Amino acid sequence: MTIPEKQIYPRSGDKETIYLKGVITNPNICIGDFTMYNDFVNDPTLFEKNNVLYHYPINHDKLRIGRFCSIACGAKFLFNSANHTLSSLSTYPFPLFFEEWDLDKKDVANAWDNKGDINIGNDVWIGYEAVVLAGVTIGDGAIIGTRAVVTKDVPPYTIVGGVPAKPVKKRFPEEVISALLEIQWWKWPRERIAENIGAIQSGDIHVLREVSLQTKSTV
């Protein structure tokens, strides 16, 4: 189901939309196949520089984005080094300026609170200029509204919006969500997905379930 390792532009004549996997060089950023980013303001190939912020190597924190995600222009991922520690009596990042204050360089990361990695599931839509903060996990099939600020985990197939982002509604009934999470069509071979795009787009969960059962029976 893979795409060519360095394929960048999926549409002829469109330089604003890219497959992210083809432009990522940072080993701490992992992007799934067919996940795309659109940017009509800046060069989308500069995603690492313009959209993944405060992602300093000293923290070893990771950005993981699954397959078939859609990321709109200006979406940002803010990592741990954007934080200032709240365990100190001051939010001033003294350890960051270790030379000025004669502190140990190895303690520089004490200047901020480390909340962990950012994990984005599969088939997630992140809206225009949305912001996802460190430590957040977004489940498969979720939708992040325009300019939402995501500070907490988002369950699968849930629409969230606002500042801070809060649940708006579930996309489907629970039985459909459970079926989709079991089927995991995004892991199918490309050919199988192509054969069933009609069922995926029309929401025919019964067809997808049948294809999934047939696949398991032949394994």
Question: Could you confirm whether 84 is annotated as catalytic?
Answer: yes
Query: Which of 118, 97, 100 is closest to 108 using CA atoms?
Result: 97
- How many C-beta atoms lie closer than 10 Å to residue 217's C-beta? 7
Q: Which of 55, 60, 84, 206 is catalytic?
A: 84
Q: How far is CA 14 from CA 37, 40, 49, in A?
A: 12, 10, 21
Which residues are CB-contacts of 174 (< 8 A; sequence separation ≥ 6)? none
Q: Which residues are catalytic?
A: 84
